[in-house]
Structure 1
């Protein structure tokens, strides 16, 4: 239970939503400045994919910890700390003159984003009820759905405008006045809340999970340059076994592990996690590779690159709104399969447009393709959340939400790295071959998971979730409420 304090004012809610936009926009704002950023920092495709992946990796590793820290020490306190750190990290990124400094800044951005993000929705749940609560969650979710489009368009405009001669750097510096405004006003109007019972910190689980991700991420991104890094893959099995053993012992003792092993013994929950991992593995790979190809091979300006994804963001938002009525008519599993089909078609259509128009490709040509990907991913994402969380027992509600978001962000990093690496390797054969290879892998993965879900749907839909609680997924938020 949460301790109720003063109610959340409309101005405090707006400040929280501003804070929500900061880490979410920074996922996509970098994509539209890849070419000019690479030239300034003197780095290639590998460095560019690391700029995206390192941020997502640190975010993924610590977001569950950020939620628990907020419950222990106060959500407002952690939110403000996250804003301060994000402000400093953004300044580091904006001032970076080489790839090492940029990666350090992006790592810090991910760390502090993981501290501030979980506090936003948790504060809404702790301070509002009834209609006001529903409206606040609706605003939060809507903004999250639009953040991809906002990030792409805003980033494209800022870089193209070349304000004060700062080029891509202004995309990071723009965070600073927003952070200062939130700090100056939010200190006085955002209420402090915390959980009645302090949750335990699973430091061992967090550490092993981070090592597991590194053993995957480093070989994928840097293996071509330093082949010895592939040896890190040998560490996956012992680290995975160690993580499972520690989490199992913690659960037996009645503690709060990051990934409770019993959670994954339910077929419906595993199905949901598998579906969620698929969405957040393929989606960032598509965004990164498409944006990179548009800028480096077809010479799109940052503004043109950003505008190419407007339809994607809008249709993602529309898909989020339509997901509930669609799910009510055809069920979670069929809704996910529908999303797979639409995304599959969007991926293929994107490749077809590159192949058909080549160097004459225009922004408006991509509207139909990116729109299909947007609505398809919205349906997949919302369905995956609901498949996983609608069959979770009350005793695992908080852990399931945190674990799902952790998997989501981890796959975001791995997806960017994997598909970016494939594209970079195949680029020597021409950008169309590179695009065809990555698109083929994207579609293959979607086909495999979509087929599994398709054949599971009749069986899983008939299973009754006795003794479980249905948790409503606030889709697209990047965080699931721990107290629902």
Structure 2
């Protein structure tokens, strides 16, 4: 939504945050009114957020094991992954508003209970359809639970403490995304109690029960101070519009990008426009909209959401491309891939806390812009290392680039929730939190869709180019090692190239293309020679596609750098400004 010049403060104006009201929403200010159990409550909130973020990545690692165990088809396993994401994205806005209306603690605990039960259902599923239904329910309850995390932080903590709380929230996000890769691999590999992949869901059950019991004791109830009603029409319009856009994005590549998908995405735009029009009507009628549109008049909210969306489009591309590069391109085990990603996690953790608690409050958006530059430098260093070492690259050689990328990510991403919600009234904290999370989920979905173009679009061509470079050596090896007649060597090379290119174009990596059963490839000696060449070609081609993804992510990050100029220059807490300002000091710039 456009922001008029009257609505947006000049860029030099310091954005001051309203003092945090107590959880009751009465508007009382001061540290004395702060909830004495708020830090214990934060622990419950962060653990719950961690479980949701963990389940967003951990299932990807365990997908092959699920497929074998349940005898499931590729489409069913895709729905195990996509169903969670879709239900999560569709219910975030509703979940946020439900907290404002019925009480954030009550809705949060309801979400935790549902998430725990659906995790149990997923862990004991005996049929593919049962696992799909359980995952959809799990994503839906996560969509109810997660918005309460940011909104409870917003209304519970004093302005000084919010920076610490948001920093910890950001650090937990980085940890969960990274640990999901390693933990999924470890749990499947260990096969605890013979449960294999089921442990990734069952582990949520005791943690969820503990969260319910402990959370009920330490989280203080809060809701909007004025009486709000649930906007049913707005809910239907928002859900329909988001579904029409998110579903084609999440399933586009697996369905072959049908025309109906593009029609659905285009039609989703006027549906969301109708939703906005209805929200304006609801504001005039009873001031109980599903989304408080006045939030978009606030510069920190609207500009922060724009930066958040653009940045997570790039992150969506990076995380998916990164997983493909490590596990398929390099052939690393899930545990190896997860451990390789630890430097990224360390870099993100170090800058997440310092950027929100120290740097951004003092120097504002400049810190995030420096973080964007650091991120770009990390991407360039990754490209250089991957290009230099090719398919023989090691985790140690990637450690420094990943550390730098993580440091840039933590500096850019972690302050965004604080910036977006900094001027949100307490009565709309849940609605704003739902919008922030929906915005992030939409960014990931768009980034995942762009992978089809940026990564897979060039994979077949990269595979062919890689094999063309192998041809002279491959001919020699076939003749010398496999005793192939020189006249048949070209036939074997052609069959090998066709098989590799066709395999690169398959959506399901478990499928063996018909071209790979060509008679020229069936000789055991020939197969033995081709094994090493196939590994090298796969590593090289996936590295080339991932480099394209990194260049694209770098371009998006550069765009984000300039988009950050729309964010207010300074984001400082009222108390901090009062403590630091001398009696004769000039106003903050």
Give the TM-score range, shorter chain.
0.7 to 0.9
Q: Does 1:189 align with 2:217?
A: yes
Correspondence for 2:145 among 103, 107, 116: 116
State the partner residue of 1:173.
202
Query: Deviation digits for residues 45-103 of structure 1, max 9, x if unmatched?
Result: x8777654543332233233223323443444333322232123223433457765544
Q: Distance in 1 between matches of 2:177 and 2:142?
A: 16
Change (3 A) 1:31 1:351: farther
State the partner residue of 1:212.
241
Q: Distance in 2 between matches of 1:201 and 1:375?
A: 41
CA drift at 1:304: 0.7
Q: Distance in 1 between matches of 2:295 and 2:151?
A: 22
After superposing the two structures, state which structure 1 stretch, 157-166 or 306-315, moved more: 157-166
CA drift at 1:112: 0.8
Q: Distance in 1 between matches of 2:289 and 2:574?
A: 21
CA drift at 1:336: 2.7
- After the TM superposition, which residues 82-161 of structure 1 pair with which residues of structure 2 at under 5 Å, given as runs? 82-95=111-124, 101-120=130-149, 142-161=171-190
Q: Distance in 2 between matches of 1:353 and 1:408?
A: 30
- TM-score, normalised on structure 1? 0.80
State the partner residue of 1:230.
262
Q: Secondary structure at the match of 1:207?
A: helix
Q: Distance in 2 between matches of 1:471 and 1:219?
A: 47
- After the TM superposition, which residues 416-455 of structure 1 pair with which residues of structure 2 at under 5 Å, given as runs? 416-419=448-451, 422-429=454-461, 430=463, 431-453=542-564
Query: Deviation digits for residues 80-137 of structure 1, max 9, x if unmatched?
Result: 3222321232234334577655443332112111222344565567777799998777
Correspondence for 1:64 among 67, 75, 93: 93
Query: Deviation digits for residues 159-185 of structure 1, max 9, x if unmatched?
Result: 2222233333321221122223334x3
Change (3 A) 1:181 1:57: same
Q: Does 1:338 align with 2:367?
A: no
Q: Secondary structure at the match of 1:30?
A: helix
After superposing the two structures, state which structure 1 stretch, 374-383 or 424-433, moved more: 424-433
After superposing the two structures, state which structure 1 stretch, 385-394 or 123-132, moved more: 123-132
State the partner residue of 1:240.
272
Q: Secondary structure at the match of 2:313?
A: helix
After superposing the two structures, state which structure 1 stretch, 230-239 or 430-439, moved more: 430-439
State the partner residue of 1:475.
none
State the partner residue of 1:413.
445
Q: Which runs of 5+ in 2 are unaligned?
A: 1-20, 25-32, 464-541, 577-589
State the partner residue of 1:327.
360
Larger Rg: 2
Q: Distance in 1 between matches of 2:151 and 2:406?
A: 27
Correspondence for 1:309 among 332, 341, 349: 341
Q: Distance in 1 between matches of 2:40 and 2:261?
A: 50
After superposing the two structures, state which structure 1 stretch, 261-270 or 75-84, moved more: 261-270
Q: Distance in 2 between matches of 1:338 and 1:47?
A: 43
Change (3 A) 1:131 1:246: closer
State the partner residue of 2:526.
none
8 Å contact from structure 2 (residues 154, 429) kept in 1: no
8 Å contact from structure 1 (residues 340, 377) kept in 2: yes
Change (3 A) 1:442 1:146: same
Q: Does 1:8 align with 2:37?
A: yes
Change (3 A) 1:50 1:453: farther
Q: Distance in 1 between matches of 2:379 and 2:190?
A: 30
State the partner residue of 1:476.
none
Change (3 A) 1:372 1:407: same
CA drift at 1:277: 0.6
Q: Distance in 1 between matches of 2:88 and 2:346?
A: 25
8 Å contact from structure 2 (residues 105, 221) kept in 1: yes
Q: Distance in 2 between matches of 1:428 and 1:308?
A: 26
Across the two proteins, how many residue pairs are aligned to each other? Answer: 462
State the partner residue of 2:485.
none
Q: Distance in 1 between matches of 2:390 and 2:208?
A: 41
8 Å contact from structure 2 (residues 50, 173) kept in 1: yes
Q: Which runs of 5+ in 1 are unaligned?
A: 473-484
CA drift at 1:366: 2.3
Q: Distance in 2 between matches of 1:124 and 1:269?
A: 17
CA drift at 1:265: 4.3
Q: Secondary structure at the match of 2:455?
A: helix
8 Å contact from structure 1 (residues 31, 291) kept in 2: no
Q: Distance in 2 between matches of 1:15 and 1:394?
A: 21
After superposing the two structures, state which structure 1 stretch, 168-177 or 10-19, moved more: 10-19
8 Å contact from structure 2 (residues 100, 429) kept in 1: no
After superposing the two structures, state which structure 1 stretch, 35-44 or 247-256, moved more: 35-44
